[in-house]
Amino acid sequence: MKKILFSVLLFSAGMSHAWAQRFTMYNTGTLYDSFENPSQAAFIADTTKNYALSFIANANVYTYLTGNAQTPAKTRIFLNQENNTAFTAGQNQFNNAFVQTNVYLGMIKMFASLSGRVEIGASYQIKTNARGYASDEAVDLINGGNNYTRLVGRNDVFNGRAFYEGFHQLSLTYREKVTRTFTFGLKLSTLLGIDYNKMVINQSSVGVSGSKVVPLVQGTYQATYVDGRYPKRDLLPSLKNPGMAIGIGATFLAPGGLILQGNIKDLGFIHWGRRPATYSFNAFNNTPTNGSGQDIFRETITQNGYYKGFTKPIVGRAEFAMAKKFIFGNIMYQPTALVSQQLYGQGAALALINQVGFGKFSASISGIMNEDKKFDTGLQLMYKKPNFEVFIGSEQLGNTFNLYSAYNDNSNAINSARSHSGASIYFGFSFKIGKLIERWKNESYYPDGSEQGPLGKRWNDIFNH
């Protein structure tokens, strides 16, 4: 359990080799964009070839931590040392951690029909989501602290919550231009769960048992693997924890060239059925006394358990974006404003992305207000041809440089006081093969983009008759 909670609350154990982006690929016309936002096009008629591919080429993680746990976390991760001097006691100081990963191991998409500009795709990705909210006293306890005498008699000092989920996602996508101004996209996914953990501590205190001062906690803990121990083979896809999800996207070209886009992402659930454990612990009634505070805590949270499957929604988001493209000679400028709201629980983010294109090259500067109202500045560089694209960037430029310095044992970077610490580095590429998409035309017929696919024809039947 220590490993799980420390991973959630203090960045995640693998943060130093992760890649990340969440918002800055909006309206880029890349293959990645078309899978994340299914109403977006990956192909252009008379310009690109009809198959788009990417294998093990788009990986991402976005992570940050707020509060006094930042310096202890960086000290533990980069120096492998304990440093609890930053933590307060009895001052109601809390720490927030956020981790989100999305690794595409394969993407393939084909241009299926000129009528409606139909695109059909398939993808395989691995996703994880983690969120933690814990007091200084709780993180101090997890990080090896044992001085609780000053907390005796104080209530709710260890209250908090932590959550983690990981799963495989196999998806099919469909995109069609229904009318000249309206495009619809759909993403249907099969989910194969890897791991799930959730803990809520809703009552806590510090008590005295004999001559020992001990932490007292009450709450619930659910876990598919107790203490994070599971065979490596269980990381592979299997049907032990099945689920499903749907993603819906729509793009509308408004008067004046304004591009409006909405997405519902990962609206779904997983049934965790491989005998997961649910514990309702209460150290006020049964207080373990053996070992350190960490040992007592670990023993406490695995009291009064039973094994039974449960079904949980996955972390989904609702997003709305507004963009407009401006052309100045050979220079393209496209600002995009975006709001993203978590479907279950708290979590909203705002972003403003400014993309400037110079022929095949483009650069984007972004400003993002994350879920804990902390501001980040990002930078993205892209090289994009009709049948090839590659990009690299960060949505937390300053924090990423700080963390890189900490990785190189820079004491100033490790001990610097910041509003939040985190990292975001992402990259990706894809390419297209096959035949050039050519619109059929002759002397009496020239395609003008109004050719309709199955949804477009149905649309006409409903609204034009």
- What confidence tens digit (pLDDT) does each residue in 412-449 have? 888 887 888 888 888 889 999 999 998 776 555 556 66
Q: Considering the entire predicted model, what is its pTM?
A: 0.89
Polymer length of the chain:
465
- Type of residue at 130: A
**Tokens standing for residue 171:** 């998806």
Whole-number pLDDT of residue 13: 33
Residue numbers in the chain where pLDDT is lower than 50: 1-20
3-state class of 444 per DSSP?
A: coil
Whole-number pLDDT of residue 178: 94
Task: Give dist(CA 244, CA 316) in Å, integer.
Answer: 12
Whole-number pLDDT of residue 302: 82
Whole-number pLDDT of residue 327: 94
Task: Give dist(CA 404, CA 416) in Å, integer.
Answer: 13
**Tokens standing for residue 163:** 């959550």
3-state class of 3 per DSSP?
A: helix
3-state class of 411 per DSSP?
A: helix
Whole-number pLDDT of residue 291: 65
Q: Determine the straight-line distance between the first and last CA of the chain, rounded to whole angstroms.
A: 62
